[in-house]
Homo-oligomer: A and B are copies of this chain.
Amino acid sequence: MRTAEMMDAHPAQITLDRDLLARTIDALVACSQACTACADACLSEEMVAELRTCIRTNLDCADICDATARMLSRQTGHDANLIRAQLQACAQACQSCGDECARHAQAHDHCRICAEACRACEEACNELLATIS
């Protein structure tokens, strides 16, 4: 990931902390990939019927993290209301998905790893949220 480099090379005045922004984008992108992979790994498990909620929650979380990462990658203009609302939704998605994956963490390594990615992403979103006035 060249996120921090790209953030430093941006010509706009950036209101938010560039390092924190870059770290949050990286956490979002990593969480999205983990969720897409976890949904598919769950789908391949013998006990797929018991992993329905996990798969669905993974798919939602991947889509919402992707949209949030793209929004944060843009620094032309600044809409604090939108950033706040989308970060709140994303933190909620990561919390729901982290909780669900944690339920299957002992049975499935992919759920354990994905839960970690969700927790890290939820924290990053909340840390960034705290800096938006």
Contacts and interface: CB of A to CB of B under 8 A. Distances in A.
Interface in A68-122: 69-71, 73-77, 79, 81-82, 85-86, 88-89, 92-93, 96, 108-110, 113-114, 116-117
Interface residues of A, number: 65
A14 to B, nearest CB: 10
Contact of A40 (B29, B41, B45, B56): B56
Which of A45, A85, A109, A113 lies at the interface centre, i.e. has the most chain B CB atoms within 10 A of its CB?
A: A85
A11 B45 contact: yes
Interface of A: 1-3, 5-7, 9-12, 25-26, 29-30, 33-34, 36-41, 43-46, 48-49, 52-53, 55-57, 59-60, 62-64, 66-67, 69-71, 73-77, 79, 81-82, 85-86, 88-89, 92-93, 96, 108-110, 113-114, 116-117
A6 B36 CA distance: 10
Contacts of A53: 76-77
Q: What's the dominant secondary structure at chain A's contact region? A: helix
Contact of A89 (B34, B77, B85): B85
A130 to B, nearest CB: 17
Given A9-B108, A66-B67, A110-B6, A57 B77 contact: yes
